[in-house]
Amino acid sequence: MAAAFELTRPEHGGRFDVTIYQLGWRLGGKGASGRGPSGRIEEHGLHVWLGFYENAFAMMRDCYAEAARSTGVFGDWQDAFLPEPDIGLFAPHGSEGWHRWHGRFSPRPGLPGDVALGIDGQDQDPSSLADYMSAAVGMLITLLLDTEVRRSDSPPPPAPDDPDQIIAAMRALLGRGVFAGGVVLVEALGLLQIAIAGLPRGFESMLVRLVDTIASGMREWLETHLLGDDRRSHVWEMVDLVLACIVGCFRDKLLTDPRGLDAINAHDCRDWLRRHGASERAVNSAFVQGLYDLALAYEDGDATRPGIAAGQGMRGALRMFFAYRGALFWRMRAGMGDVVFAPLYHVLRERGVQFRFFHRLTNVGLAPGGELGPGDRTHVAALDFDVQAKLHAEHYNPLITIAGRPCWPAEPDFSQLIDGEKLAADNADLESHWDRRRADTARLEVGRDFDFVVLGVSVGAIPDVCPEILARDARWRRMTAAVKTVATQAFQVWLDQDLESLGWHGPPWLASAFAKPFDSWCDMAHTIPEEAWAAPPATAVYFCGVLPDGPAPADDDHDYQSRRNAEVKRNAVDFLASQASRMWPGIGKGADGFRWDLLADPEPGAGAATGPARFDSQYWRANVNPTDRYVLSLPGSLEHRISPLDMTYDNMTIAGDWTDCGLNTGCTEAAVMAGRLAAHALSGAPALNRIIGYDHP
C-alpha cells in the first residue's frame, strides 16, 4: 500500500497505472481489521504506533489531508491517532503475584512525521549513534542529579571545548582512579558527553577507559543507593541496562564501525548486554522481558527460546526512547483497518488505482533460465492467480459504514459474489491458506498485462508463491530459511464494568511482560464509541502473545485453522480464570476465578449463557496463515534479508517488514519504509534521504 501511495503521487503525473491484487475481501495483511456483531472492532492483535514512525505517520498525514479534499468522513489525522504517554510492565514477585511498573513519558517537541514531511522549525532526529549515546549519558546525569547530588550555587567551571582540552580533562579525571560519589560521576558523565561530540578518531581506547571507569563507579553508587529499595529497584535495573549499552557501544567500536549497530546482529540482545556488564537481574528485568514480549520474539512460539538480534534490538530501543515525537506511543481511535486502510483505499481509488479482490497469488513465473549466480539478472514473465470468487458487478465494494465512518467488515459481502449464498453456507474462509476453493484462474503476462511488479506478500508465503525463484536463486533460499516467522494468538473481551471499578488503579496502560501466553494487553475503552452497540459496554480489553508451532500442516488440511482457533479459545478461557484477578482484583470474585457475567454479549437474548460459556460471545483468533505470522529478527538472520533496491529481477521489487529496509523488525514503520524503497526502485522517488531511518546507524 505504501508503494502504491508513493507511485501514484500527483508529482508523477500519472506515469504509473497501478493495480493491486488482494487475497480475500480486505486490505492490510496482519494489520487488517473487521467489524463483527454490533459493529465491534475485531483485530488480528494489539496494534499501537510508536512516536518515531516518521515514514508511516507522514504517509497517513498526507493521506488524511488528501482524503479531506473529497470527503469529510475520515476527519483529521490527529482525531484518528491519539497520543499515549503511559506504558506499564509487570514483574513476578513471589507469593505477592506481580509488581507493576508504570512509566509516563513526557511529550517531545514536534509530531511524528514532521521530519519526513520536511516541516520547518522542528528538531532533527538523532542521526548518529553518537547522538544516541550522548542522550543516554544525559539521562544518567538527570537521574543522579534528581536522586542525590546537590546542585552548587557557584557556576560550573567552563567545559573543555577543543580536543586537546578534552583529552587533558579525561587524563586528569582518570588519574583519580575509581569514581566514588555522585558529584564525581556527574562530572565524569558530563565530560563523556563532551568527548562523544568533540573527540576526534584515534582516542577510542581512552574513551573506553573512561566509560569502563564510569560504569564501575555508577554500579557501586547504584548498589549503595537503590539495590535494597524495592520501590526503586526498577531504576537500578534501567540504569544497569543503559550502562551496558553505553559500554558495549564503545568496547565494540560501534560509533566508528561502518556497519553501525548491524555489526552486533550475530548476538542475541540479552547475551550482548551480559557481555558488557549487565547483571542477571537487569537482563531478566521487566524492561528486557517487555522488549521481547512486544517484539513477539520467541522462535517457534516457544517462550524458552527468546531471540532478538542485538543490533536491531538496540536500534529499536534507541529510536523508541530518544527519537519519538509528541508521545512515546500513539493509539488508533478505532481498528487499524478503519484508521489506516480505509482512508488509504479511498485515496488510492480517487487516484485511479484498481483493486482486484479475491485473487490468490499462486506463482511468480520467471523468464526461462538456470541457476542464478552472483551478478546474474532475469525478469518476471508471468503472474498466476486463483480467482477465489467472481463478482456480479465489475468491481467489488469492500467497505461498510459504522458510526458514520467507512470500515471493513469481518467477512465478505457475499451478496456481491456469484454463488455467494453457497460460499456463505459453506463457511468459506477466503483469507485462509487452507481454503483453496476457486472459481477461476488468471494469468498476467509481462508486456501485455504488466510492466513492473511489487511483491508485497509476507515472507511466510514466499515458498508457496515463488517456487521458481527459490529453485533458481540461492539468496532467496537462504533468506526464507533464515528469516523466520512466528504464529501469534489474540483475544478481545468487552466488559460491562470499567477496569477501575474492578480494582485497576492508574491510567489505561499499554502493558507487557505479564503472564504467558497473553503477555501484552491494553485497555481499549476509547474504541467503544466507534462501535454500534445497542447497550454499549464499559470497556474492551485486547490481549496477544505468541502461539507455539506444531508440525507444519499440509496444504489440504482444511480444519487446521479451526483447530488452532479452538486452541486459542481454550488458552483465553484458562488465562482469564487464572490470571485476570492478578490485574483486576474485582473480576476474580466469581465462579472459576472470573466473573463471566461481566462479558458483554453483542447479541443478547433469552437463555443467555452463563459461566465460561459466555466467552463464546467474545472474539479470538489464531494467526497461523503464512501471511498473518509475525516476522522475527533473530540473531544471525538479518544479513540474509534482501533489499527492495536489489536489482536481480529487472521488473520486480519487494516490500514488507521482512525486507532489508533499514528498520528490520516486524512493525508498521518497517513495512512503510520498504514500500517507499520499492517505489524508489521503480521511479527514483522518494529520494533515499527522505526515507527517514533507511541509512540508520
DSSP 52-114: T-HHHHHHHHHHHHHHHTT-STT--HHHHEEEE-EEEEEEE-GGG-EEEEEEEPPPBSS-TTH
What are the pLDDT digits (tens) for 579-590?
Answer: 999 999 999 876
Residue 120: pLDDT band (50, 70, 90) is low
Residue 672: pLDDT band (50, 70, 90) is very high
Across 643-663, average pLDDT: 98
Q: What is the DSSP letter of 176?
A: T
- Write down the pLDDT at residue 162: 65
Tell me which of 506-520, 618-632, 650-664 is least confident.
506-520
- Write down the pLDDT at residue 474: 98
- Written in H, E and C, the secondary structure of 206-240 is HHHHHHHHHHHHHHHHHHHHCCCCHHHHHHHHHHH
**Could you tell me what percent of the chain has a pLDDT over 90?**
77
**Inter-CA distances, 537 with 526, 541, 579, 635, 672, Å:** 11, 11, 22, 44, 35
- Write down the pLDDT at residue 202: 66
Domains of the chain: 2-82+332-484+628-690 (3.50.50.60), 123-324 (no CATH), 488-623 (no CATH)
Q: Which residue has the higher pLDDT, 164 or 572?
A: 572
**Identity of the highest mean pLDDT range in 96-100, 209-213, 267-271, 277-281:** 267-271
Phi, then psi, of 319 in degrees rounded to 5 = -70, -35
Q: CA nearest 455: which of 427, 486, 425, 479?
A: 479
162 by Cβ neighbours in 10 Å (0-12 / 13-18 / 19+) ranks as exposed
What are the pLDDT digits (tens) for 282-296?
Answer: 999 999 999 999 999
Q: Which residues contact 88 (CB under 8 A, 6 or more apart)?
A: 100, 101, 102, 103, 506, 509, 510, 511, 512
How far is CA 459 from its chain centroid?
A: 16
| Bridge partners, 374 (sequence order) | none
Residue 151: pLDDT band (50, 70, 90) is very low
| Cis peptide bond upstream of 517, omega within 30 | yes
Cα Dmax for the chain? 84
Across 124-153, average pLDDT: 75
Residue 149: pLDDT band (50, 70, 90) is very low
Neighbours of 19 (CB within 10 A): 12
Q: Which residues contact 585 (CB under 8 A, 6 or more apart)?
A: 502, 503
What are the pLDDT digits (tens) for 387-415?
Answer: 999 999 999 999 999 999 999 999 999 99
What is the C-alpha to C-alpha distance for residues 282 and 236, in angstroms, rounded to an integer? 8
Does the pLDDT of residue 676 top 50, yes or no? Answer: yes
Does the pLDDT of residue 157 top 70, yes or no? Answer: no
Tell me which of 298-302, 344-348, 565-569, 601-605 is least confident.
601-605
Round the CA-based radius of gyration of the chain to a whole number and report it.
27
**Inter-CA distances, 18 with 347, 353, 355, 393, Å:** 13, 5, 9, 21
- Write down the pLDDT at residue 592: 76
- For the chain, counts of helices (H) and of strands (E): 21, 23
What are the pLDDT digits (tens) for 355-374?
Answer: 999 999 999 999 999 999 99
**Inter-CA distances, 25 with 335, 341, 372, 408, 431, Å:** 16, 12, 36, 9, 8
- Write down the pLDDT at residue 128: 87
Q: Which helix (H) or strand (E) holds 46?
A: none
What are the pLDDT digits (tens) for 40-75?
Answer: 999 999 999 999 999 999 999 999 999 999 999 999
Collapse the DSSP code of 378 into the 3-class scheme (helix H, G, I; strand E, B; otherwise coil) and give the result: strand
**Could you tell me what percent of the chain has a pLDDT over 70?**
93
- Write down the pLDDT at residue 150: 47
What is the C-alpha to C-alpha distance for residues 4 and 122, in angstroms, rounded to an integer? 28
What is the C-alpha to C-alpha distance for residues 87 and 522, in angstroms, rounded to an integer? 10
Neighbours of 105 (CB within 10 A): 16
What are the pLDDT digits (tens) for 315-325?
Answer: 999 999 999 99
Does the pLDDT of residue 99 top 80, yes or no? Answer: yes
Rounded to the nearest integer, the mean pLDDT of the chain is 92
- Write down the pLDDT at residue 536: 97
What are the pLDDT digits (tens) for 225-243?
Answer: 766 666 667 888 888 999 9
C-alpha cell at 217: 563507579
Torsion over CA: 381, 385, 391, 395 (sign): negative
**Inter-CA distances, 507 with 36, 510, 525, 536, 629, Å:** 28, 9, 11, 21, 31
Collapse the DSSP code of 204 into the 3-class scheme (helix H, G, I; strand E, B; otherwise coil) and give the result: helix
What are the pLDDT digits (tens) for 581-636?
Answer: 999 999 987 667 899 999 999 988 766 788 999 999 999 999 999 999 999 999 99
The DSSP result for 388-427, as a single string, is ---BSSSS----EEETTEEE-BSS--GGGBTTHHHHHHTT
C-alpha cell at 251: 568496547
What is the C-alpha to C-alpha distance for residues 678 and 658, in angstroms, rounded to an integer? 13
- Write down the pLDDT at residue 352: 98
**Helices 204-225 and 163-174 meet at what angle, rounded to 10?**
50
Kind of pairing between the strands at 400-402 and 510-512: unpaired
Q: What is the DSSP letter of 341?
A: I
Which residue type is seen at 634? L
Residue 208: pLDDT band (50, 70, 90) is confident
Residue 152: pLDDT band (50, 70, 90) is very low
- Write down the pLDDT at residue 182: 72
**Inter-CA distances, 90 with 104, 498, 511, Å:** 15, 20, 8
C-alpha cell at 689: 534521504
DSSP H stretches of helix in 252-383: 269-275, 280-283, 286-294, 310-322, 336, 342-350
- Write down the pLDDT at residue 124: 54
What are the pLDDT digits (tens) for 427-481?
Answer: 999 999 999 999 999 999 999 999 999 999 999 999 999 999 999 999 999 999 9
